[in-house]
Amino acid sequence: MATDPAIARAWYDRGNFFSSQGRFSDAVACFDAALALDPENAPALKRKGFALLKLERYEEAAETYRRAIAIDPGDAAAWQRRCYALARLDRLDEAAECCDRALLLDPSYCTALHSKGWILCKLNRHREAIACYEAILRIDPDRDSAILAREQVLGQTALDQLQDFVKVAERDIEIPEVVYSVLQKRDYREIGQAWEALRRILQEGRRA
């Protein structure tokens, strides 16, 4: 007769099979069956957490990864995935702490660096976010996601600077419509047009 560990392993393997097929609800049920027999099974908790993330059941995923980390605190990927679940729940400070724990375990973990950059952007800590993306590019210079994310943060920062300038300058000069249009659309790719229009207005003012 099979022992409980053998049965738990069978449920775990079946859960992994369902996950590989994209049947994540079935996978969760199998991992739950494995955990009913072996509640301290960290791999089953982690795989269940992953399936829950795929199902967008973020509250349950965060709790599942919390349990996994309590058993195996040295797994950087588990900290990172708990970070992702918390970020989706808008628990950004907790998510950032999880990223930091992942990076303490693995400073070159690009996924954790990218998540931290995203969280810092949400917290309006743009300089720190840019530093995260630049750290990724020092590790992997060709990583397109980091290149794009850094460009977007730099662009949004430039738009913020333009908006701050307009708030002060509109008391003294007539701001061209194109500037307001760029700010309204928040399209950093058109920011050069806005600054050029402002430059012409300022030059005309000096000549007058």
Higher pLDDT, 174 or 206: 174
- The distance from CA 5 to its chain's CA centroid, rounded to whole angstroms, is 37
Helix and strand numbers, DSSP H then E, in the chain: 11, 0
Please tell me the pTM assigned to this model.
Answer: 0.81
pLDDT-wise least confident of 2-6, 63-67, 102-106, 178-182: 2-6
The first and second tokens of residue 156, run together, are 């949004």
DSSP H or E run through 28: helix 24-37
Whole-number Å distance between alpha carbons of 89 and 73 = 22
What domains are defined for the chain? Answer: 1-72 (1.25.40.10), 75-141 (1.25.40.10), 152-208 (no CATH)
Assign 3-class secondary structure to 177-190: HHHHHHHHHCCHHH
Considering the chain, what is the average pLDDT of its residues?
93
Model pLDDT for residues 50-99, shown as the tens digit of each residue = 999 999 999 999 999 999 999 999 999 999 999 999 999 999 999 999 99
pLDDT score of 206 more than 60: no
Query: Tens digits of per-residue pLDDT, 107-157?
Result: 999 999 999 999 999 998 999 999 999 999 999 999 999 999 999 999 989
Of 40, 3, 42, 46, the C-alpha closest to 27 is: 46
pLDDT reported for residue 1: 38
pLDDT tens track for 2-16: 457 889 999 999 999
Provide the pLDDT for residue 171: 86
Residue with tokens 């949004």: 156
Q: At what angle do helices 24-37 and 4-20 cross, to 10 degrees?
A: 170
Q: What does the block give as tokens for 128?
A: 């720190």
| pLDDT for position 148 | 94
Task: Burial-class residue 15 by CB neighbours within 10 Å (0-12, 13-18, 19+).
Answer: buried
